[in-house]
Amino acid sequence: MRARDIVWLLVATALMGSSFAIGQMGLRYAPPLFLAGLRFTLAGALLAGFARKRRPLARWSDRGRVVTIGLLQTAGVMGTIFVSLKTIPAGESAILTFANPLIVVVGGSVLLRYRYRARQWAGVVVGFTGLAVAVGGGFVLRPGVPLALSSAIFWAAATLLMKRWQGFADLWVLTAYQMLTGGLVLLALGAVFEVPDFHWNVASAAILAWLVVMASIVQFGAWFYVLHRNDPARVSAYLFLAPVFGVLSGWLLLDQPVGWHVAAGALGIAAGIWLVNQAPSAAGATDPVR
pLDDT averaged over the chain?
A: 84
Q: Using CA atoms, how far apart are residues 131 and 76, in angstroms rounded to an integer?
A: 22
Q: Give mean pLDDT, residues 67-79.
A: 95
User: Please, are residues 129 and 183 in contact by the beta-carbon 8 Å criterion?
Assistant: no
User: Please, are residues 246 and 93 in contact by the beta-carbon 8 Å criterion?
Assistant: no
Least trusted range by pLDDT, from 37-51, 161-175, 256-270: 256-270
Q: Using CA atoms, how far apart are residues 274 and 268, in angstroms rounded to an integer?
A: 10
Q: Using CA atoms, how far apart are residues 95 and 138, in angstroms rounded to an integer?
A: 10
Length of the chain (residues): 290
Output the CA torsion sign for 100, 103, 108, 111: negative
Exposed / middle / buried, residue 170 (Cβ in 10 Å: 0-12, 13-18, 19+): middle
Q: Using CA atoms, how far apart are residues 196 and 190, in angstroms rounded to an integer?
A: 6
| pLDDT tens digits, one per residue of 171-219 | 888 889 999 999 999 999 999 999 989 999 999 999 999 999 999 889 8
Whether 289 shows a pLDDT value over 80: the answer reads: no
Segment of 24-28, 54-58, 145-149 carrying the highest mean pLDDT = 24-28
Whether 6 shows a pLDDT value over 50: the answer reads: yes
User: Please, are residues 13 and 181 in contact by the beta-carbon 8 Å criterion?
Assistant: no
Whether 265 shows a pLDDT value over 60: the answer reads: yes
| pLDDT tens digits, one per residue of 119-158 | 888 888 888 888 777 766 555 667 888 898 899 899 889 9
Least trusted range by pLDDT, from 14-28, 65-79, 135-149, 219-233: 135-149
pTM equals 0.81
Confidence band of 36 (pLDDT split at 50, 70, 90): very high
